[in-house]
Amino acid sequence: MEALVVSDSVGSGNGTADSGDVTTRRFLTIIALLGAVALVSNLLRWNSPDVLKYGCFLLIAIISSGMRISVPGARVSLPLTFLFVLLGIVELTPSETVLMGVLAGLAQGCWRGESRVPWAYSGLQASLMALGAEAGERVYSSPWMPHFGIDPPIRLAFATLALFLVTTVPMALVTARRERESFPAVWYNAHLWSFSYYLGGAAVAQVLSLADRYIGWQTVLLTGPVVYGIYFSYRLYLERLEDERRHAEEVSGLHLRTIEALALAIEAKDHTTHDHLQRVQVYAIELAKELGLNKEEREALRAAALLHDIGKLAVPEHIISKPGRLTPEEFEKMKIHPVVGAEILERVQFPYPVAPIVRCHHEKWDGTGYPAGTAGEAIPIGARILSVVDCLDALASDRQYRRALPLDEAMKVVVSESGKAYDPKVVEVLARRYVELERMAQARSSKLGKLSTDLKVFRGAAPAAGFEREAAAAVKTPQLGQPPTDFLTSIAAARQEVQALFEISQDLGTSLSLDETLSVLGVRLRKIIPHSALAIWIKRDHVLLPEYVTGEDYRLFSSLEIPMGQGLSGWVAENRKPILNANPTVEPGYLNDPSKFSTLRSAVAVPLEGANGVLGVLTLYHLEKDAFTKDHLRILLAISLKISMSIENVLRFRQAESSATTDYLTGLPNARSMFLQLDGELSRSRRTEQPLTLLVLDLDGFKQINDRFGHLEGNKVLKDVATALKTSCRDYDYVARMGGDEFVVLLPGMGPADVERRTSQLRDVVTQMAQEYMGAHPLTVSIGIAAFPHDGHDAEELLAEADRRMYTDKRARKTGQPARTLASTRAGWSANTFVQ
């Protein structure tokens, strides 16, 4: 039954009512006890004249208990169990009806398939159903009904009403107490809608009773498929309605988000109203709750608080941002913004009345406001709240023509207008709670740091970078990044700078190629800061390497490897400080080569810092002295973090891409890369009919090195072995590390005799390397050989065979017989075994 869907409305995560409410728990316990008494009393006077009929009815009732009727927007759904309880009231004995209701209630919890205490949930359902069935039976079978000549259909209607009230009122009481809402509102909104379905169920039960009387109860069994067909069609219809409702909500949300973006853009035009929207919204919603506005009115006010100034799109920006009082003509223009805002929002078609609040938020209680001069309670309550809150926020915020008032003084001004400009009831609530509301607004507002408007470069222990007189730079006027000469130029320069920085932010991070990222950066920077050359230095160990160079002296800067602390870029990287108008000639100064000099005359450089320190340095060079200004440096510092993040992401991607195919310790290809290479070599051998030999090498005695000298020394040995193997092989041979102390060598085009010489050479290389670095400590290598196609036709077969022979060689070497093992391997090869 609808009321039985307790977890939909009163559940608190465990399938029962709020466990923290003692009164609620006692109330539910009483319900459970009364239900148990009703069940037991009916079982004690059990009467079932037709067991087969009852069994069929009970089976259909239990199966149907999983079917539910729901209405879009309703808080609970309605199981079809009530229909069979009503049928039982007409056709079955009271004990049969009560037991059927209890069993159907228990089954209802199982049909839900929930994990949250199903037995507690089902028990509550069973208790309510037992009480409802008992109440319905007593009403229907009451002796005074026939005494007054009331017909069975009317008696069934009264029984249906009893069943409805008994099963819905208790749950409405529990829900109202748990959610702290009024009982009538909860019962009306959550349960009353289902009464029409109860009456419809009563009519169906009466028709089935007539069919039982004149045709036979077996006909009633056909109600099962019929009910399911009706339920299935109804469910499809409701799902379609729910999809349409969800789509409408999504469209409404999209409209709201779109207009929110416009509202924020408008707010950004007036920098004097910092956090205005956030503050107004918090105040307004809390006042609405205090004044008892319903949910729809609160949602309308929430949207209006955010969008009330959207009509300022129609007001010229110079009026909005005017640093002083408006003229009468300007004020007339300003007064159109509530009307325009309301017209914009009317097109959005919100499901709640937002536009009237926006239209009237500048109306006054005494009728002297605008745009229509509406007075008193004719002004929407949301607009009355918004106007008071908007005034308090305006008084407590800085404006171009005055400083902000302290909040207490601002509140006094608002109180003085109570009954004149503002609704006294709203002002009274605000005056009582404004301190608390201000704390809430401050807690939610974002804390933005203030950007520095001036930058001083501390020279400190600067290198001999040839600092020039910075006073000369003040007389220059670059196109961008420098103070312009008039107001219009200032606006144009500011917009150009914002646009250029936006384009850089958009472009950076769109590519995972470092060259592409840096080349795009170079193109964009040329539009912002005029320069003759650009170099982006990336830190590798303790050296700055030129990752990207363009412009004058390209060859010079591309050949440099600047140590940390050397040259102007090295100094910037080491000290993490920017430098302005330095001498580019000192960049190659660490070389002490007079032939290495730059023709450039000035430079500006900023450090690029990542999560783990300095990534590198961005340096711009110019052919003229003092070509760069503090504005240029400011711009570079503003975008340096974005540049650093983009470069760091690209470098991480490059490292991840490399580590996917490269062994991190030795720098050799790893196993994954080796398999790809081996597959390619096998394909080429099949195509060209050339031999291919695979060697698997395993170091003997490496564990003793780790045990004796430690793992760091062992890692060094592995690196040296990898280098030695790579050096001793041909350029087109392939050496890879499989893992641990095991290596693989691919020898394309090599025959048996050459393979023997190569294995002997590899053994000598490892032995010699061990003697040089570890003296008398033994380090040898076991080698397994496999040839294509004699020993296998694919990579797995070749590796398995080579691995097996490597272990055979290892065992033979321990017994002092390595030559015989290799000879036996070669004996199996013929001159043509390398060709398929």
Provide the residue ranges of all domains of the chain, joining segments of one domain with +. 2-217, 270-444, 470-659, 671-827
Kindly state the average pLDDT of the residues 473-481.
Answer: 41
What pLDDT does 424 receive? 92
Q: Residue 478 — very low, low, confident or very high, per pLDDT cuts 50/70/90?
A: very low
Calculate what percentage of the chain has a pLDDT beyond 90: 8
Q: Which helix (H) or strand (E) holds 641?
A: helix 630-659
Q: What is the pLDDT of residue 329?
A: 63
Cβ count near 452 (within 10 Å):
9
Rounded to whole angstroms, the Cα distance separating 290 from 58 reads 51
List residues bridging with 739 in a β-sheet.
742
Q: Compute CA 271 distance to the chain's CA centroid, rounded to the nearest angstrom.
A: 30
By mean pLDDT, which of 293-297, 349-353, 513-517, 682-686 is the weakest? 513-517
Q: Among 657, 644, 649, 777, which Cα is nearest to 708's?
A: 777
* Predicted confidence (pLDDT) at residue 60 exceeds the cutoff of 50: yes
Task: Flag whether pLDDT at 715 surpasses 60.
Answer: yes
Q: What CATH fold (topology level) applies to the domain 671-827?
A: Alpha-Beta Plaits (3.30.70)
Question: Can you tell me the mean pLDDT for 61-85?
Answer: 66
Give the Cα separation of 18 and 12 in Å (integer). 5
Tell which wins on pLDDT, 779 or 448: 779
State the residue for tokens 């050799």.
668
pLDDT score recorded for residue 178: 74
Alpha carbon distances (Å) from 677 to 170, 670, 689, 731? 75, 11, 17, 15
Question: What is the H or E stretch that residue 539 is in?
Answer: strand 533-540
- pLDDT value at position 416? 92
Q: Tell me which of 494 and 243 has the higher pLDDT.
A: 243
pLDDT band at 384 (very low <50, low <70, confident <90, very high): very high
C-alpha span between 31 and 186 (Å, rounded)? 19
CA end-to-end span of the chain, whole Å? 79
Mean pLDDT, the chain, whole residue set:
75
Q: pLDDT tens digits for 171-222?
A: 788 777 777 677 787 787 777 777 777 787 777 777 777 776 766 666 656 6
What's the pLDDT score for residue 445? 62
Is the CB of residue 561 less than 8 Å from the CB of residue 544?
A: yes
d(CA 668, CA 670): 6
- φ, ψ of residue 546 to 5 degrees: the values are -75, 100
- Written as six digits, the tokens of 18 are 């709020």
Q: What is the pLDDT of residue 35?
A: 83
Least confident piece of the model among 271-275, 301-305, 566-570, 803-807: 271-275
Closest of 545, 547, 553, 537 to residue 622, by C-alpha: 553
Which of 135, 65, 69 has its CA nearest to residue 100? 65
Residue spans of alpha helices (H) in 322-376: 328-334, 337-348, 355-360
**In this structure, are residues 341 and 308 in contact, taking their beta carbons and an 8 Å threshold?**
yes
Say what the pLDDT of residue 265 is: 62
User: Per CATH, is 470-659 categorized as 3.30.1330.90?
Assistant: no
pLDDT at 379 over 90: yes
Mean pLDDT of 481-506: 51
* Triad 136, 138, 140: Cα angle to 5°: 65
The superfamily CATH assigns to domain 270-444 is Hypothetical protein af1432 (1.10.3210.10)
Joined together, the tokens standing for residue 110 give 């199982």
CA distance 809 to 698: 10
Tokens representing residue 690 in the block: 């050339």
Length, in residues, of the chain? 836
The arithmetic mean of pLDDT across residues 596-600, rounded, is: 84
Cβ neighbours of 527 (radius 10 Å)? 14
pLDDT value at residue 68: 63
Stretch 318-344: mean pLDDT? 75
- pLDDT band for position 426 (cuts 50, 70, 90): very high
Residue 420 Cα distances to 195, 366, 375, angstroms: 49, 5, 10
* CATH placement of domain 2-217: 1.10.1760.20
Question: Is residue 14 scored above 50 in pLDDT?
Answer: no
- pLDDT of residue 451 exceeding 70: no
The C-alpha R_g of the chain, in whole angstroms, comes to 43
Q: How many whole angstroms separate alpha carbon 459 and alpha carbon 575?
A: 10
- Assess whether pLDDT exceeds 60 at residue 114: no
Q: Is the pLDDT of residue 659 over 70?
A: no
Query: What gap in Å lies between CA 585 and CA 465, rounded to an integer?
Result: 8
**How many beta carbons lie within 10 A of that of residue 199, not counting itself?**
16
Would you state the structure tokens that stand for residue 522, as one six-digit string?
């170079």
Q: Looking at 138-152, 321-335, 381-395, which range is the least confident one? A: 321-335
Is it the case that residue 440 has pLDDT exceeding 50? yes
Q: Which of 352, 211, 366 is nearest to 293 (CA)?
A: 352
Residue 319's pLDDT band (cuts 50, 70, 90): low
Q: What is the pLDDT of residue 87?
A: 77
Q: What is the rounded average pLDDT of the residues 298-306?
A: 86
* Strand 742-748 with 692-700, pairing: antiparallel
Give mean pLDDT, residues 296-303: 87
Specify which of 47-61, 220-234, 288-302 reaches the highest per-range mean pLDDT: 288-302
Of the candidate ranges 109-123, 459-473, 592-606, the one whose mean pLDDT is the lowest: 459-473
pLDDT for the residue 833: 44
Strand positions, DSSP E, 751-826? 780-788
The sign of the torsion formed by the CA atoms of 800, 802, 805, 810 equals negative
Question: For position 480, what pLDDT does the model report?
Answer: 47
The predicted pLDDT at position 712 comes to 82
Task: Report angle CA 795, 800, 803 to the nearest 5 degrees.
Answer: 120
Lowest mean pLDDT among 17-31, 547-561, 658-672: 17-31
Report whether pLDDT(494) > 60.
no
**What's the rounded mean pLDDT across residues 427-435?**
90
